[in-house]
Chains A and B, each alone.
Chain A
Amino acid sequence: MLDGLWDTWYTLVRYLRTFVHNPFWMLILLIQPLVWLVLFTQLFQSITTLGFTSGSYVQFFAPGLIVMLAVFNANALAFRLLNDINYGVLVKMIATPVNRYSLIVGGLLYIAVTWVLQVFVVLIVSFLMGARVATGVGGVLMTFLIVSLLGIGLTGLVAAIAVTMKRPEPVVLIANLITLPLMFLSSILIPAYLTPQWIQDAMKFNPVNYAILAVRPMFLTGFDWTAIGQALVVCGVFALVAIFVETAAFRRFGG
């Protein structure tokens, strides 16, 4: 058990150390959400005139972007794993007594850490642009929790595909096939009532939508405990399923 915790820690440290060796990557990682934030708020500025939100589009969009970052990061771990597979690193790790779950959870935590850093950037910049988090620090922490679970679910699934396929091309295709619809079939970009009925129906099966429905009110008005409860259950189950699927993929990896 204790070994497992240390294994997770050293796996996480190994991934994070990449940024020490490549500070430039870190820079890109932090600039990326800024670009989205500026582009989207400018592009969709006029939507606020439709009158669906009290504040500015930044206020509406910042929570959406925070959820979206979890979706966009979904294949980041897959690419680290594919690299480890291609260079024969993963096969060597599997031959050591390292805990299997630690290899997986360490990777997922690494993605969560990069995501949290990106969120800080978004929070600071949207604050400067006039957006406020209605529920304060508590809302921010709850947002971290919900979206981390969502991110772990998405990342784990794509990682499982990567470990099974062992090649980058199909993973890119499949990841896009999964993540883009998940994003568009949610109220990240526009509120649900502005979309056709079938999209609103589809949203009921989309963990991304549960996350945004819980997170957005925390930014705009206040805690919506029903939405938060649903989001925690849906995203929590999703994360567990993904870890399970990824573990199964790891088990099958060596053939």
Chain B
Amino acid sequence: MVKPFTSLTGTVAPLDVDNVDTDAIIPKQFLKRTERTGYGQFLFYDWRFEDGEERQDFVLNEPRYKGSSILLGRKNFGCGSSREHAPWTLADYGFQVIIAPSFADIFYNNCFKNGMLPIVLSEDQINQLFQLVTTKSGYEVTVDLENQTVTDSHEFQAHFEVTPYRKRLLLKGLDEIGSTLEHQSKIDSFEDRHRIYYKLEHGSI
């Protein structure tokens, strides 16, 4: 069941780095856990911590960005592996929205499965947001999924695209598996006519 998302007003944290990859978001030593939760503490681990201490020179450690719920990024955000641990980690840390000029495919898709909204804006709009967030302390924007807008209380206003299905998925908090299973009879009849050319021995080992 996807967690519903309708709108959000929150402070923005800027991460001015291209190609932020999933290894950076959640390093592999934390992928051995078998749970879905509790990853927030490991977000950007190698960037955030040095010998277990917070690094002063990493942007998310700056007091003014603590508690932000919207992450502003650069191009090709979330590239790399398919690990859904990446959105789990960002969400668990507190980010529900990520705004960037482009996202890697699998990461983008994974976000929606977890009640998170990735938003693509133009390079110009992104530059403008970076400018605003670094010059105004406590800079907030409102993200409205119904109207597909990102706005602040003064000058910034942007429209973003999202497919109707993904929009509905988030607004309603759909159970995707449940909705596919409504088409069970179609899957059955597909299997009747579809050929598979390999056959494994059944069962474990």
**Do these two chains really belong together in a complex?**
no
Report which A residues bind B (CB closer than 8 A): none
